[in-house]
Structure 1
């Protein structure tokens, strides 16, 4: 029997976690030759999400729960849960049901065909057209500036072989851009298109800051073009400024009594160059912030509580004793 791990990060999803559990359970029980575990990692929810998860875990040993000591953000928490999964294949799926559980069958089928990575790609979405268009523009932009080819319109929803998870454990990144890491590792992936449904219950926990955070993380982790653009643009603008200065000097010498230099060009030029400098100082700051995070090397999350993981620990210890006895 192969073990399938379903990993679900959640935060204030009391209206969705039980429905997701039911759908995942129904699908996984229909897969012949598989057992499964459903790992929920809760990012210190303020509603009844944890209580619901504890009730589900008490009724079903396949449900495993990790409760974080505080909210560690939407980047670190899901990644930590992935590293805890022991399944032969691991599926990452959000709690709001916008990642269709029915696609589990398709993921497993392609994994059985030999693909180490199977990704869900949302070529269409029932969310706001404006938001989908902005996301699409971002994916196109980051693909152009990235040093590797990234998968467009993929949020991380997909299946990952345990071999991929082991590589991620070895990387030991304290603030990972998960989608980029999957592309960087280089395993051949199969992409399955789907239409992302709209959220039926609850409200999204993403806001401008969280989306900006992950966007900048993708750029700083996989591209040096912004830094090099700053250097090239600085050289180009210096050359243009020198040429304009020479032209102004010649115009004043030739038309001394008629040519008024005026203060407007000085003010416009000052604000323009200051704005460009501030923009690129901000870009440099993003890279420095990324380096600072890596240097601190803090843990992905700090766990407050684990539920239903005891059997796994005992089984691993028993396996280690058997291996030690043979050697």
Structure 2
């Protein structure tokens, strides 16, 4: 039988870990030709998430847990979990249940039919229209400027064959943009659309900084267009400045006593060019920071503890064992 590992990253998800475990168990009990195990990687939660996971692992040997020494962020921790998975294929499923677990059944069916990567994409989401529009604009922008064809409305939810995981291991990126790496690999990707529901329990752990972080990571990891735009903008603005200065010189020579340049144009020009410089210096800093992170080659996470060694259970055992 083929074996699948479901990887669930979590941080302060005490209200959801039991539900996502039960849903995963229920779904795999209906798939007769595969076995599975469920790996939770906890990012140093400060609530009762870990204690609830311990209770689950105590009654189900198919559940294993990695507890990080500290919060290593929403980018590094899920990747570490994927690399620790033991299955012939790995499914990445977040703990908040906004990615529908039911779709895992279709993932497995298409994988058994030969697809190396099967992912879920969300062309629609039940969230505020303003934020969803911002996401769509970002996805379209990154897709246009990237040096590979990125997948729009893709967050990482999907199934990945063992050979894909091994390639990711060889890449050994210390701060990976996972969505882009899947496209970099070049394997055929089967996309299954779904409508993302609203979060039912708990609150999102994403904030402005985390969203900005992943947005900039997507740009700096897969595009040089912003750097080239900075160079082009420099040439264009220097040309405009030269033309404006020549016009002012001509007007002053023609109307020496009447034409007064004044301080307003100078101040406006000073603030404008300073703002442009700061913007592109910041953009350059993002690229330099990405290079520094890669050069340091720090581990994705430091583990504090592992619970269970990663057992496996058959579909029949899923229905026979007692669950939560």
Structure 1 residue aligned with 2:159 = 159
Structure 1 residue aligned with 2:226 = 226
Structure 2 residue aligned with 1:98 = 98
- How do 1:246-261 residues align onto structure 2 when only pairs under 5 Å count? 246-261=246-261
CA distance in 2, matches of 1:127, 1:81: 28
* Residues 125 and 197, structure 1, Cα contact 8 Å, conserved in 2: yes
Aligned residues: 312
Structure 1: which 5+ residue stretches go unaligned?
313-327
CA distance in 2, matches of 1:310, 1:92: 16
Structure 1 residue aligned with 2:272 = 272
CA distance in 2, matches of 1:100, 1:128: 19
CA distance in 2, matches of 1:215, 1:7: 23
The runs of 4+ residues in structure 1 deviating greater than 4 Å are none
Structure 1 residue aligned with 2:322 = none
CA distance in 2, matches of 1:120, 1:305: 31
- What RMSD in Å do the two structures reach over aligned CA positions? 1.0
CA distance in 1, matches of 2:191, 2:60: 32
Structure 1 residue aligned with 2:110 = 110
* Residues 12 and 45, structure 1, Cα contact 8 Å, conserved in 2: yes
Task: Using CA pairs under 8 Å that are at least 6 residues apart, name the structure with larger relative contact order, 1 or 2.
Answer: 2
Structure 2 residue aligned with 1:302 = 302
SS at match of 1:119: strand
* Residues 15 and 202, structure 2, Cα contact 8 Å, conserved in 1: yes
CA distance in 2, matches of 1:108, 1:167: 20
Structure 2 residue aligned with 1:319 = none
2:217 aligned with 1:217: yes
* Residues 29 and 35, structure 1, Cα contact 8 Å, conserved in 2: no
Structure 2 residue aligned with 1:89 = 89
Structure 2 residue aligned with 1:129 = 129
TM-score (norm 1): 0.94
CA distance in 1, matches of 2:162, 2:130: 37
CA distance in 1, matches of 2:184, 2:21: 32
